[in-house]
Amino acid sequence: MKPALLVSLVILAVGLGGLWLVIHQDLSQKQAQLQTISAKLAQLPTEVEVPVFTGTARDIQQLATISATAALVIDKETGAQLYANNSAEPRYPASTVKMMTAIVARQIYPLDRLLTVREEAFADGSTIGFQIGEQLTVRDLLAILLIHSGNDAAFVLANNAPGGYNHFVELMNLQAKELGLTSTQFVNSSGLDDPEQQTSAEDLAKIGARLLEDPLLAQFVRTKYLTVSDASGRISHPLVNRDELLGVVPGVIGIKTGTTEAAGENLVTAVQAGNRQTILVLLGSSQRYPEMTQLMRWVNSHYSWKTVRPPAE
Protein backbone atom coordinates (compact mmCIF):
# COMPACT_ATOMS: atom_id res chain seq x y z
CA MET A 1 0.00 0.00 0.00
CA LYS A 2 1.32 3.42 -0.92
CA PRO A 3 2.37 5.59 2.02
CA ALA A 4 0.12 8.46 0.94
CA LEU A 5 -2.89 6.16 0.78
CA LEU A 6 -2.03 4.70 4.17
CA VAL A 7 -1.83 8.15 5.72
CA SER A 8 -5.21 9.07 4.20
CA LEU A 9 -6.81 5.93 5.61
CA VAL A 10 -5.38 6.66 9.06
CA ILE A 11 -6.69 10.24 8.93
CA LEU A 12 -10.10 8.96 7.84
CA ALA A 13 -10.17 6.41 10.65
CA VAL A 14 -9.21 9.01 13.23
CA GLY A 15 -11.86 11.37 11.87
CA LEU A 16 -14.55 8.69 11.98
CA GLY A 17 -13.49 7.78 15.49
CA GLY A 18 -13.76 11.40 16.58
CA LEU A 19 -17.16 11.71 14.91
CA TRP A 20 -18.37 8.57 16.71
CA LEU A 21 -17.12 10.00 20.00
CA VAL A 22 -18.97 13.29 19.41
CA ILE A 23 -22.16 11.44 18.48
CA HIS A 24 -21.83 9.18 21.53
CA GLN A 25 -21.27 12.15 23.84
CA ASP A 26 -24.22 13.98 22.28
CA LEU A 27 -26.46 10.94 22.79
CA SER A 28 -25.32 10.64 26.39
CA GLN A 29 -26.16 14.30 27.01
CA LYS A 30 -29.56 13.87 25.39
CA GLN A 31 -30.26 10.80 27.53
CA ALA A 32 -29.28 12.72 30.67
CA GLN A 33 -31.58 15.59 29.64
CA LEU A 34 -34.44 13.18 28.99
CA GLN A 35 -33.92 11.56 32.38
CA THR A 36 -34.03 14.99 34.06
CA ILE A 37 -37.22 15.90 32.21
CA SER A 38 -38.80 12.55 33.07
CA ALA A 39 -37.94 13.04 36.75
CA LYS A 40 -39.54 16.49 36.74
CA LEU A 41 -42.65 15.20 34.97
CA ALA A 42 -42.97 12.44 37.56
CA GLN A 43 -43.12 15.12 40.27
CA LEU A 44 -46.02 16.97 38.63
CA PRO A 45 -49.40 16.60 40.36
CA THR A 46 -51.96 14.29 38.78
CA GLU A 47 -54.47 17.13 39.04
CA VAL A 48 -54.43 20.83 39.78
CA GLU A 49 -57.00 23.40 40.83
CA VAL A 50 -57.13 26.42 38.51
CA PRO A 51 -58.99 29.69 39.20
CA VAL A 52 -61.96 30.53 36.98
CA PHE A 53 -63.39 34.07 36.82
CA THR A 54 -67.16 33.96 37.22
CA GLY A 55 -67.84 37.70 37.08
CA THR A 56 -68.05 40.34 34.36
CA ALA A 57 -66.09 43.42 33.33
CA ARG A 58 -68.52 45.49 35.37
CA ASP A 59 -67.62 43.50 38.48
CA ILE A 60 -63.99 44.56 38.11
CA GLN A 61 -65.09 48.17 38.42
CA GLN A 62 -66.12 47.43 42.00
CA LEU A 63 -62.44 47.75 42.92
CA ALA A 64 -62.05 51.20 41.35
CA THR A 65 -62.64 52.81 44.75
CA ILE A 66 -59.46 51.31 46.23
CA SER A 67 -56.96 54.05 47.05
CA ALA A 68 -53.87 51.83 46.64
CA THR A 69 -51.73 52.94 43.71
CA ALA A 70 -50.83 49.32 42.90
CA ALA A 71 -52.57 46.04 43.63
CA LEU A 72 -52.25 42.38 42.75
CA VAL A 73 -53.89 39.05 43.62
CA ILE A 74 -52.29 35.78 42.53
CA ASP A 75 -53.11 32.12 42.96
CA LYS A 76 -49.92 30.77 44.56
CA GLU A 77 -50.21 27.26 43.10
CA THR A 78 -50.58 28.29 39.45
CA GLY A 79 -49.19 31.83 39.56
CA ALA A 80 -52.33 33.06 37.81
CA GLN A 81 -53.18 36.73 38.31
CA LEU A 82 -56.71 37.11 39.64
CA TYR A 83 -56.58 40.91 39.76
CA ALA A 84 -53.90 43.43 38.80
CA ASN A 85 -53.62 47.20 38.81
CA ASN A 86 -50.25 48.83 38.09
CA SER A 87 -48.78 45.60 39.43
CA ALA A 88 -45.47 45.85 37.56
CA GLU A 89 -44.80 49.54 38.27
CA PRO A 90 -41.99 50.41 40.75
CA ARG A 91 -43.02 51.55 44.22
CA TYR A 92 -41.36 52.18 47.58
CA PRO A 93 -41.44 48.86 49.49
CA ALA A 94 -41.14 50.10 53.10
CA SER A 95 -40.88 47.18 55.56
CA THR A 96 -42.01 44.58 53.03
CA VAL A 97 -38.24 44.53 52.30
CA LYS A 98 -37.87 42.49 55.49
CA MET A 99 -39.29 39.44 53.70
CA MET A 100 -36.13 39.34 51.57
CA THR A 101 -33.96 40.14 54.58
CA ALA A 102 -35.36 37.05 56.31
CA ILE A 103 -34.89 34.85 53.23
CA VAL A 104 -31.21 35.83 52.89
CA ALA A 105 -30.53 35.52 56.63
CA ARG A 106 -31.87 31.95 56.56
CA GLN A 107 -29.38 31.13 53.80
CA ILE A 108 -26.25 32.43 55.53
CA TYR A 109 -26.81 31.79 59.25
CA PRO A 110 -27.51 28.76 61.44
CA LEU A 111 -30.56 29.48 63.59
CA ASP A 112 -28.68 29.11 66.89
CA ARG A 113 -25.89 31.56 65.92
CA LEU A 114 -25.56 34.37 68.47
CA LEU A 115 -25.29 37.86 66.98
CA THR A 116 -24.22 40.93 68.95
CA VAL A 117 -26.11 44.23 68.90
CA ARG A 118 -23.90 47.23 68.19
CA GLU A 119 -25.02 50.63 66.91
CA GLU A 120 -28.23 49.03 65.55
CA ALA A 121 -29.81 49.74 68.93
CA PHE A 122 -30.41 53.26 67.66
CA ALA A 123 -31.97 52.37 64.29
CA ASP A 124 -34.63 54.71 62.90
CA GLY A 125 -38.29 53.85 62.55
CA SER A 126 -39.89 50.72 63.98
CA THR A 127 -37.60 49.11 66.60
CA ILE A 128 -37.80 46.65 69.46
CA GLY A 129 -35.38 48.58 71.72
CA PHE A 130 -32.14 46.60 71.96
CA GLN A 131 -29.32 47.34 74.36
CA ILE A 132 -25.83 47.67 72.93
CA GLY A 133 -23.86 44.48 73.60
CA GLU A 134 -27.01 42.36 73.82
CA GLN A 135 -26.73 38.96 72.14
CA LEU A 136 -29.62 37.14 70.45
CA THR A 137 -29.95 34.04 68.33
CA VAL A 138 -30.69 34.36 64.62
CA ARG A 139 -34.00 32.56 65.26
CA ASP A 140 -35.11 35.25 67.72
CA LEU A 141 -33.87 38.07 65.49
CA LEU A 142 -35.96 36.64 62.64
CA ALA A 143 -38.98 36.60 64.94
CA ILE A 144 -38.40 40.26 65.84
CA LEU A 145 -37.87 41.12 62.17
CA LEU A 146 -41.06 39.50 60.86
CA ILE A 147 -43.46 39.74 63.80
CA HIS A 148 -42.56 43.14 65.27
CA SER A 149 -41.02 44.54 62.05
CA GLY A 150 -37.91 45.63 63.93
CA ASN A 151 -35.57 47.79 61.87
CA ASP A 152 -32.90 47.20 64.51
CA ALA A 153 -33.19 43.43 63.97
CA ALA A 154 -32.79 43.96 60.22
CA PHE A 155 -29.54 45.86 60.80
CA VAL A 156 -28.18 43.31 63.29
CA LEU A 157 -28.72 40.52 60.77
CA ALA A 158 -27.09 42.50 57.95
CA ASN A 159 -24.17 43.98 59.92
CA ASN A 160 -23.01 40.61 61.27
CA ALA A 161 -23.01 38.92 57.86
CA PRO A 162 -19.73 37.67 56.35
CA GLY A 163 -18.55 40.60 54.25
CA GLY A 164 -20.56 43.09 56.27
CA TYR A 165 -23.70 45.11 55.68
CA ASN A 166 -23.09 46.00 52.04
CA HIS A 167 -22.44 42.39 51.11
CA PHE A 168 -25.68 41.35 52.80
CA VAL A 169 -27.58 43.85 50.62
CA GLU A 170 -25.74 42.47 47.57
CA LEU A 171 -27.01 39.01 48.51
CA MET A 172 -30.56 40.42 48.69
CA ASN A 173 -30.21 41.75 45.14
CA LEU A 174 -28.69 38.49 43.96
CA GLN A 175 -31.65 36.59 45.41
CA ALA A 176 -33.97 39.03 43.64
CA LYS A 177 -32.35 38.11 40.32
CA GLU A 178 -32.61 34.39 41.07
CA LEU A 179 -36.34 34.84 41.72
CA GLY A 180 -36.72 36.62 38.38
CA LEU A 181 -37.72 39.95 39.90
CA THR A 182 -37.72 42.73 37.30
CA SER A 183 -38.62 45.89 39.25
CA THR A 184 -36.74 45.39 42.50
CA GLN A 185 -33.57 47.02 43.81
CA PHE A 186 -32.49 46.87 47.46
CA VAL A 187 -30.18 49.36 49.18
CA ASN A 188 -30.94 48.56 52.82
CA SER A 189 -32.24 45.64 54.85
CA SER A 190 -35.00 47.42 56.77
CA GLY A 191 -37.10 49.21 54.15
CA LEU A 192 -36.29 52.81 55.08
CA ASP A 193 -37.10 55.10 52.16
CA ASP A 194 -34.41 55.57 49.54
CA PRO A 195 -35.05 56.73 45.96
CA GLU A 196 -33.01 53.79 44.65
CA GLN A 197 -34.91 51.18 46.68
CA GLN A 198 -37.91 50.08 44.64
CA THR A 199 -40.09 47.05 44.06
CA SER A 200 -43.46 46.17 42.53
CA ALA A 201 -46.59 44.31 43.56
CA GLU A 202 -45.65 41.45 41.23
CA ASP A 203 -42.17 41.15 42.72
CA LEU A 204 -43.46 41.28 46.30
CA ALA A 205 -45.92 38.49 45.54
CA LYS A 206 -43.00 36.34 44.34
CA ILE A 207 -40.96 37.18 47.44
CA GLY A 208 -43.93 36.36 49.64
CA ALA A 209 -44.43 33.03 47.89
CA ARG A 210 -40.76 32.20 48.40
CA LEU A 211 -40.94 33.11 52.10
CA LEU A 212 -43.92 30.80 52.63
CA GLU A 213 -41.83 27.87 51.39
CA ASP A 214 -39.72 28.15 54.56
CA PRO A 215 -41.71 26.58 57.45
CA LEU A 216 -40.04 28.71 60.15
CA LEU A 217 -40.55 32.02 58.33
CA ALA A 218 -44.11 31.03 57.47
CA GLN A 219 -44.71 30.32 61.16
CA PHE A 220 -43.37 33.72 62.22
CA VAL A 221 -45.45 35.78 59.78
CA ARG A 222 -48.63 34.14 61.07
CA THR A 223 -47.73 34.61 64.75
CA LYS A 224 -49.63 37.36 66.54
CA TYR A 225 -47.78 37.47 69.88
CA LEU A 226 -44.43 36.11 71.05
CA THR A 227 -41.81 36.96 73.68
CA VAL A 228 -38.10 36.39 73.04
CA SER A 229 -35.09 36.91 75.29
CA ASP A 230 -31.42 37.65 74.90
CA ALA A 231 -28.81 34.95 75.44
CA SER A 232 -28.50 35.75 79.15
CA GLY A 233 -32.25 35.48 79.71
CA ARG A 234 -32.27 38.81 81.55
CA ILE A 235 -33.68 40.96 78.73
CA SER A 236 -37.12 40.12 77.34
CA HIS A 237 -38.73 41.50 74.19
CA PRO A 238 -42.52 41.12 73.83
CA LEU A 239 -43.48 41.04 70.15
CA VAL A 240 -46.79 42.10 68.62
CA ASN A 241 -47.56 41.50 64.95
CA ARG A 242 -48.57 44.76 63.27
CA ASP A 243 -50.92 43.02 60.80
CA GLU A 244 -54.41 43.91 62.03
CA LEU A 245 -56.05 41.22 59.86
CA LEU A 246 -54.12 38.38 61.48
CA GLY A 247 -56.32 36.47 63.90
CA VAL A 248 -59.34 38.55 62.89
CA VAL A 249 -60.09 37.65 59.28
CA PRO A 250 -60.46 33.87 58.76
CA GLY A 251 -57.84 32.34 56.50
CA VAL A 252 -55.26 35.13 56.79
CA ILE A 253 -51.79 33.67 57.49
CA GLY A 254 -49.55 36.79 57.28
CA ILE A 255 -47.33 38.01 55.50
CA LYS A 256 -45.88 41.55 55.91
CA THR A 257 -46.84 45.14 56.52
CA GLY A 258 -44.88 48.26 55.60
CA THR A 259 -45.45 51.97 56.11
CA THR A 260 -43.30 55.02 55.38
CA GLU A 261 -44.01 58.56 54.29
CA ALA A 262 -42.93 57.89 50.71
CA ALA A 263 -44.49 54.43 50.41
CA GLY A 264 -47.81 55.02 52.12
CA GLU A 265 -49.47 51.93 53.57
CA ASN A 266 -48.23 48.66 52.06
CA LEU A 267 -49.56 45.21 52.83
CA VAL A 268 -48.74 41.73 51.52
CA THR A 269 -51.29 39.15 52.66
CA ALA A 270 -51.53 35.38 52.26
CA VAL A 271 -54.88 33.64 52.59
CA GLN A 272 -55.28 29.91 53.13
CA ALA A 273 -58.44 28.12 51.96
CA GLY A 274 -58.07 24.36 52.30
CA ASN A 275 -54.90 23.42 50.40
CA ARG A 276 -55.07 26.59 48.33
CA GLN A 277 -53.16 29.80 49.00
CA THR A 278 -53.78 33.24 47.56
CA ILE A 279 -51.30 36.12 47.82
CA LEU A 280 -52.61 39.70 47.74
CA VAL A 281 -50.57 42.91 47.56
CA LEU A 282 -51.60 46.52 48.14
CA LEU A 283 -49.08 49.36 47.73
CA GLY A 284 -49.55 53.05 48.44
CA SER A 285 -52.88 52.61 50.19
CA SER A 286 -54.43 55.13 52.56
CA GLN A 287 -56.47 52.44 54.39
CA ARG A 288 -54.86 49.09 53.71
CA TYR A 289 -56.85 46.89 56.07
CA PRO A 290 -60.36 47.78 54.87
CA GLU A 291 -59.14 47.70 51.27
CA MET A 292 -57.43 44.33 51.70
CA THR A 293 -60.62 42.96 53.24
CA GLN A 294 -62.58 44.35 50.28
CA LEU A 295 -60.14 42.73 47.85
CA MET A 296 -60.37 39.34 49.59
CA ARG A 297 -64.17 39.42 49.54
CA TRP A 298 -64.15 40.37 45.87
CA VAL A 299 -61.95 37.39 45.00
CA ASN A 300 -64.19 35.03 46.98
CA SER A 301 -67.28 36.38 45.19
CA HIS A 302 -65.94 36.32 41.64
CA TYR A 303 -63.66 33.27 41.44
CA SER A 304 -64.18 29.56 41.72
CA TRP A 305 -61.56 26.83 41.46
CA LYS A 306 -61.87 24.01 38.96
CA THR A 307 -59.95 20.73 39.19
CA VAL A 308 -58.06 20.00 35.96
CA ARG A 309 -56.28 16.76 35.12
CA PRO A 310 -53.27 16.99 32.78
CA PRO A 311 -53.65 14.99 29.53
CA ALA A 312 -52.28 11.48 29.45
CA GLU A 313 -48.80 10.99 27.96
Q: How far is CA 55 from the centre of its chain?
A: 30
Contact 283, 91 (CB under 8 A): yes
Residue 146, phi then psi, degrees to nearest 5 = -90, -35
Helix H or strand E segment including 28 = helix 3-43
- Would you please indicate which residues are annotated as catalytic (active-site) residues? 95, 98, 149
Q: How far is CA 206 from the centre of its chain?
A: 5
Sequence-ordered list of residues with C-beta below 8 angstroms from that of 188, at least 6 positions apart, any chain:
97, 154, 158, 169, 194, 197
- The secondary structure of 228-267 as a DSSP string is EE-TTS--EEEEE---TTTTTSTTEEEEEEEEETTTEEEE
Beta strand extents in 155-247 (DSSP E only): 225-229, 236-240
